[in-house]
Amino acid sequence: MKRASISTRIFVYGTLLSGEPNHRLLRGARLIGPARTQPRFSLYDYGPFPALASRGKHAIEGEVYEVDALMLAALDRLEGHPRFYQRTSIALDGAGRAEAYLFPKGRLAGRPIIESGCWRTHLKEKKS
């Protein structure tokens, strides 16, 4: 008997978004759709990638995917979970819960907050 593979809903908001450099790691994942967090987070510019932190006041835009255990392990390696980012269950606005990679707020001192809550908008603004 074939064992059903366990799937996890993951919220992505930066380099894993469709069209962004690390999206290849989600090849084969099922796109659930665009999503946003409840307004309880802050998105920071960490240079080449964003960092999501809890206890903020912004709703963060992203996408939700359903991934299997192998894909989740690959994402954990990319994000350095649990030493760099910490994968945590968060509440989405009207779409239940999903796992997301949060950054420890203590390591974000001096980093600019992305007021729009959208990495893509931020990248466009940085270019202009």
Any idea which residues carry the catalytic annotation?
A: 79
At 58, list the tokens: 């912004």
- Residues paired with residue 24 on neighbouring β-strands, in sequence order: none
Distance (Å, whole) CA 10 – CA 71: 11
Q: Yes or no: say if 70 and 126 are a contact pair by the CB < 8 Å rule.
A: no
Please choose, from the candidates 69, 71, 63, the residue with its C-alpha nearest in 3D space to the C-alpha of residue 28. 71
Task: Please give the Cα distance from 26 to 30 (Å, whole number).
Answer: 8
